Amino acid sequence: MHTLQEILSSTHYESPNPIGHIVIDDICYNAQEIDTNATALFYFLSFRYNKNYESEIEAALTRSVKVIILDATDLFYDAEEIQKLYGHRVPIVLVSQLYKKIGQIAAKFYNFPQEKLRFIGVTGTNGKTSVSYLTAQCLSKLGARTAVVGTLGQGIIGETLFTESSTGYRNGYTTPSAIKLYKILSEFVNNKVELSNWF
C-alpha cells in the first residue's frame, strides 16, 4: 500500500482536495476492475474510447472508488467540468498528459518490479509467440524460473497460463496496458521469477 503522495511524488498534479494522505491499495483503468473489498482505491479514468463518462463515473462511485485521476489535457472530455460535477463526491486529481505518466505511476505503485527481473524481448511480424515460448521453455529446462507475457496471456512456464477470464487481461494484444503490465511483473517478482519473455 502507498499514499497518493508517494506515488505522485514526481508528477505535477492539481486537486482542490487534500489527497496526499489517501492510502491506495489497488489501481485500475475502469469501473469493472474495481475491487469493492479494497480498503482504498486509485482509479485511472480515461474516456478515449468510452464517451459516456457519466455512467462510468457512477459505476466507479458505486464500487467505492476513493480517487479519480483525469488527464487535464485530454481532448475527449472536459476534466474541469467533471471535477465540478463529481468533486463533491470523490477527490479528483488532474494530471497533464497523464497517458505519458501512467507507466511511471504504475511502476512506483508496484515497487519497480522491472528492476528485479531480467527480460528477453522478441519482436517481429510473425512467430513471436512461438519463439518466446520455445525460448522460455528452454531456459526453464536449464533451471531458470521463467515467465511469458504476450498475446496468449501471461504466466510462469510449467504453471497455469492466465488469460482474460482469470485476470481481466485482454487477449489479442501483444502487450497489456501499463498498469496491468506492472501488476503482472510484480506478481512474477512475488513468485520468484528470474526471466520474463515479452513479445
pLDDT in tens, 123-177: 888 888 889 889 999 999 999 999 998 887 888 988 877 665 444 445 455 678 8
User: Which pLDDT does position 77 carry in this prediction?
Assistant: 77
Q: Do 8 and 97 fall within a single domain? A: yes
> How far is it, in rounded angstroms, from Cα 164 to Cα 152?
9
Question: Mean of the pLDDT values across residues 26-41?
Answer: 74
Q: Lowest-pLDDT range, 22-31, 46-55, 148-157?
A: 46-55
User: Which pLDDT does position 39 carry in this prediction?
Assistant: 57
pTM for the structure as a whole: 0.84
Q: Do 134 and 173 fall within a single domain? A: yes
pLDDT-derived band at 70, boundaries 50, 70, 90: confident
In 10 A of CB 32, how many CB atoms? 11
The answer to whether the CB of 22 falls within 8 A of the CB of 91 is yes
152: helix, coil or strand?
coil
Question: Mean of the pLDDT values across residues 47-73?
Answer: 78
Domain end among 109, 132, 154: 109
Mean pLDDT (the chain, rounded): 82
H-run or E-run covering 153: strand 153-156
Q: Do 98 and 127 fall within a single domain? A: no
User: Which pLDDT does position 165 carry in this prediction?
Assistant: 44
Q: Do 103 and 130 fall within a single domain? A: no
User: Which pLDDT does position 45 carry in this prediction?
Assistant: 62
H-run or E-run covering 26: none
Provide the sign of the torsion angle of the four alpha carbons 142, 148, 153, 155, taken in this order. Answer: positive
Query: How many domains would you assign to the chain?
Result: 2
Domain end among 109, 135, 168: 109
Domain end among 85, 109, 133: 109
